């Protein structure tokens, strides 16, 4: 595992002169951020040794290097979800490699269903904390002490300073942001009404099928993390919820410019 991470990082660094300290996982809602990255260099995942092989034909994804707000960044276009069948080591492998490339701060985005009754479709939620309901912790098994401790603290999974910065920027730009707890589930089913109510009762504000494994692994290696969810649908208020993949995409497209603006400005300033 350590050898694999090292080899993959060495390959990536041999392909670019950039040495970014910031990485972004471009989940739903942040796809357009790519257009704001200048002097782009791209490495398709298929060319990177040890990268998981995509389950979706023609959507293999790529690693993008360039400048965002004057800062060097590495962006992952296309992530690996647990529901696709990957083992947790594959889902989180890119985060291990980012760190080995010298990245210290990770930005992530995702789509999520809202169960906080004050949320509306198209809202953006700063992830303040999470509840890990994946059936497996990505750190299960042998611990590589070179990477991080056996029992890592999850006291501050999402960096308080970065959250404060996001709130400041949003206020200046008159962008309305929600803040809350993200419940991470394995999917691929959306929630039943009872599951939505259950997630609300245990302290969740939104639920989705990604992010938590990557954040756990990033925190294992002491990376700073900032995360945002686009609320693409609502559940748990006694109304039957029909969610289609298309509706999720549509809501994400509405939120996208705002989310992009906040993240781009954060990276410029932090």
Least distance between ligand HPA and beta carbon 14 (Å): 37
Least distance to ligand HPA, CB of residue 233, Å = 5
d(CA 20, CA 176) in angstroms, rounded, equals 30
Which residues neighbour 236 within 8 Å (Cβ) at sequence distance 6 or greater?
115, 191, 193, 196, 197, 199, 200
Cα 120 off chain centre by: 21
Of 163 and 212, which has the nearer Cβ to ligand HPA? 212
- CB 113 to ligand HPA: min, Å: 2
Q: Given the rule CB under 6 A, which residues bind ligand HPA?
A: 111-113, 190-191, 207-209, 232-233, 235, 243, 248
H-helix or E-strand spanning residue 162: helix 160-172
* DSSP three-state, residue 83: helix
Whichever of 56 and 146 has its CB closer to ligand HPA, that residue is: 56
Nearest approach, Cβ of residue 200 and ligand HPA (Å): 12
CB of 119 to ligand HPA, least distance (A): 11
Decide if 172 contacts 87 (C-beta within 8 A). Answer: no
Residue among 190 and 270 whose Cβ is closer to ligand HPA: 190
Residue nearest to ligand HPA (CB): 113
Cβ closer to ligand HPA: 72 or 191?
A: 191
233 vs 265 by CB, closer to ligand HPA: 233
Least CB distance from residue 115 to ligand HPA, whole Å? 8
Q: Which of 226, 203, 205 is nearest to 215 (CA)?
A: 226
Q: Which is nearer to ligand HPA, 94 or 204 (CB)?
A: 204
Residues 146 and 149: their CA atoms lie apart, in Å, by 8
Work out the angle between the directed axes of helices 2-15 and 88-100 (0-180°, nearest 10). 50
End-to-end CA distance of the chain: 32
CA distance 95 to 103: 9
Task: With H, G, I as helix, E, B as strand and everything else as coil, classify residue 242.
Answer: coil
- Yes or no: say if 92 and 214 are a contact pair by the CB < 8 Å rule: yes
């Amino acid at each position: 595992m350590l050898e694999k991470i090292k080899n993959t990082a060495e390959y990536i660094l041999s392909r670019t002169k950039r040495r970014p300290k910031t990485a972004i996982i471009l989940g739903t809602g942040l796809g357009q951020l790519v257009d704001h990255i200048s002097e782009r260099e791209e490495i398709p995942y298929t060319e990177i040794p040890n990268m998981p092989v995509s389950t979706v034909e023609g959507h293999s994804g790529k690693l993008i290097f360039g400048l965002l707000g004057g800062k060097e960044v590495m962006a992952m276009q296309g992530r690996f979800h647990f529901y696709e069948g990957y083992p947790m080591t594959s889902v989180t492998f890119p985060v291990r490699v980012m760190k080995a490339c010298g990245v210290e701060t990770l930005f992530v985005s995702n789509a999520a269903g809202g169960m906080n009754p004050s949320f509306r479709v198209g809202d953006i939620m700063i992830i303040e904390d999470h509840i890990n309901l994946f059936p497996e912790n990505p750190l299960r098994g042998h611990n590589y002490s070179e990477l991080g401790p056996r029992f890592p603290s999850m006291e501050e999974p999402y960096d308080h300073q970065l959250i404060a910065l996001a709130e400041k920027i949003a206020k200046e730009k008159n962008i309305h942001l929600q803040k809350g707890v993200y419940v991470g589930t394995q999917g691929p089913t959306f929630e039943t009404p009872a599951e939505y109510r259950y997630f609300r009762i245990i302290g969740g504000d939104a639920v989705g099928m990604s992010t938590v494994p990557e954040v756990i692994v990033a925190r294992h290696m002491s990376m700073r993390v900032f995360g945002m969810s686009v609320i693409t649908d609502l559940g748990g208020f006694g109304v039957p919820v029909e969610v289609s993949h298309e509706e999720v995409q549509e809501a994400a497209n509405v939120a996208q410019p705002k989310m992009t603006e906040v993240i781009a400005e954060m990276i410029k300033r932090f």
